Structure 1
Amino acid sequence: MKTSIASAMKRFRPGIAPTLVMMILLPLMVGLGFWQLSRGHEKQLLVDSYAERRVAEPISSVQLGDMADPAFRRVHLRGQFDAEHSVLLDNRMRDGKAGVELLQPFHDQASGLWLLLNRGWLPWPDRRTLPAFTTPDQPLNLDAWVYVAPGETFQLHADPTTAQWPRLLTALHPAALWAELGRSGFAYELRTEAGPGTYETTWPIVAMGPEKHLAYAVQWFAMALALLALYLYLGWHTTKEKPHGNGHESTQHV
């Protein structure tokens, strides 16, 4: 048995180029497959955490400041919007329509905290003019939940000395806004639930669900298996195609 295996291995000659391609691509494909599985697991934990905390009763804003893990916690707020410092987040699509999300500072009366509230999505059909929105003047009672992004997003920074309000950005970190305004504020964005002063508030939790990561992982593993099968085929097929001996030699004499 060992002799036949050794003999078979001696006949396996895939060539240098296919071997180099195999050594580079196979670990890469397998690694990407496991990375997609890991990302899918992270997204599933995120979705499970969201589902659990979204059915819980809202906490007070005073409790919010002391929490080590505030992600997706529902919070009851009472306070007033700062209409002078509005941010419009660009490139937000809903049902195939282009739009923006409206973010404004909100001063909570109970805790004295400044919070960055996302009031929801607005359509933007004509990019020549900014979307129209209104801001309530009176104090409001609102329910919102803490949004913690699963990863860093690309961010366009505006020059505070020249940028005017409302400001159009692709992303915004609350800490950057508080530093610019010279205020002490909460570190995460809060997304409002449907209520007074809100727009479209049907929020997706993650841009890509866990099931998509699983599908991508299966694709990477399938491609790795196909590459391995092709490599083995070339190794055996090339060996079989090689002629045995030196071929037919001419023995004619003049």
Structure 2
Amino acid sequence: MSPVTLRKWILSVLAISIAIACISLGCWQIRRLWARQKANAIVAARRFAPEVELDSLPRDTAAAHFRRVHVRGIYDHAQEIIYTLRGRNGSPGVNILTPLLRARKDTAVLVNRGWVYSADGTTIDTQPWKEADTLNGHGFVETFPTQGPFPPPNPARPRSFRRLDRSALSKDFSYPIANYYVVLTDSATLPSAPPRVEEAPLDEGPHRNYAIQWFSFAAISIVGLGIFLRRT
């Protein structure tokens, strides 16, 4: 086999291998796009469904996730916790979660009242952000993560949590807590009310553009190989 022929074979195998790899990566991005679209459809259906009372939520938290709810009760500000390292528009901060006690219920519901700037993303003085004790508002259901790791809180800040591990949180309250929490969406009308947490946008992410890029790389590899073979 001549050196020219050997070089053609090597470059052909290399170009085809690159094209196959790029096509595989492009197909992977397409599958991720479909999964994102499916997830968005589920979220949109729940986000725009009629609002329900907490007691009307499905028992399955996966089915209750993202449902809009009406919440009423009394805040227990003395037992609120801090959800640390919560960024907002590039700024570090935390979320304040306050237990809500409801009439004739022995189980409290944690309410994410909003975001507060924190230079280190972990510590704040919650006193200036105390709202009225009584809540009659609206929000959506969020679920606690079920897969770790769940780093333990810093002993110096025992009520600050990097991740919301429900089993660990339950030990910090004198009453049971629900197996979900509510993110408050009512406008913050009082100066002491923290800015509410914004809902995640229902976009498709970068997957479509990534797929186009990978398919383009595959096409460039094959076309480049064809030009090389014709010229040699």
TM-score using structure 1 length: 0.68
For 1:92, what is the secondary structure of its paired residue?
A: coil
Question: Which residue matches 2:137?
Answer: 142
For the Cα contact (< 8 Å) 1:36–1:214, is it kept in 2?
yes
Percent identical:
22
The yes-or-no answer on 1:185 pairing with 2:180 is no
Question: Which residue matches 1:35?
Answer: 28
The yes-or-no answer on 1:97 pairing with 2:64 is no
Give the aligned residue type for 2:71.
Answer: L
Question: Which residue matches 2:46?
Answer: 53
Question: Mapping of 1:71-110 within 5 angstroms?
Answer: 71-83=65-77, 84-94=79-89, 96-109=90-103
Q: Residues 164 and 99 of structure 1: is their aligned pair in 2 closer, same or farther, counting only changes over 3 Å?
A: closer
For the Cα contact (< 8 Å) 1:15–1:235, is it kept in 2?
no
Match of 2:63 among 60, 69, 81: 69
Whichever of the two has the greater Rg, that structure is 1
Q: Distance in 2 between matches of 1:214 and 1:128?
A: 33
Q: Distance in 2 between matches of 1:13 and 1:132?
A: 69
CA drift of 1:48 comes to 3.3
For 1:69, what is the secondary structure of its paired residue?
A: helix
Give the aligned residue type for 1:191.
Answer: V
Give the aligned residue type for 1:220.
Answer: W
Deviates more, 1:66-75 or 1:130-139: 130-139
The Cα offsets for residues 149-170 of structure 1, whole Å up to 9 and x where unpaired, read as 9x9898661257x35244152x
For the Cα contact (< 8 Å) 2:86–2:121, is it kept in 1?
no
Question: Mapping of 1:239-254 within 5 angstroms?
Answer: 240=232
For the Cα contact (< 8 Å) 2:15–2:222, is it kept in 1?
no
CA drift of 1:99 comes to 2.5
Question: Which residue matches 2:107?
Answer: 113
The Cα offsets for residues 90-118 of structure 1, whole Å up to 9 and x where unpaired, read as 14122x43322222333333554332322
The Cα offsets for residues 118-154 of structure 1, whole Å up to 9 and x where unpaired, read as 2112223x339833333346232221201359x9898
Q: Distance in 2 between matches of 1:135 and 1:235?
A: 73
Question: Which residue matches 1:217?
Answer: 211
For 2:22, what is the secondary structure of its paired residue?
A: helix
State how many pairs are aligned.
Answer: 221
The yes-or-no answer on 1:123 pairing with 2:117 is yes
For the Cα contact (< 8 Å) 2:153–2:161, is it kept in 1?
no
Q: Residues 114 and 39 of structure 1: is their aligned pair in 2 closer, same or farther, counting only changes over 3 Å?
A: farther
For 2:194, what is the secondary structure of its paired residue?
A: coil
CA drift of 1:85 comes to 4.0
Q: Distance in 2 between matches of 1:26 and 1:86?
A: 52
Give the aligned residue type for 2:24.
Answer: G
Task: Give structure 1 regions of 4+ aligned residues with deviation exceeding 6 angstroms.
Answer: 151-154
Aligned-CA RMSD value: 3.6
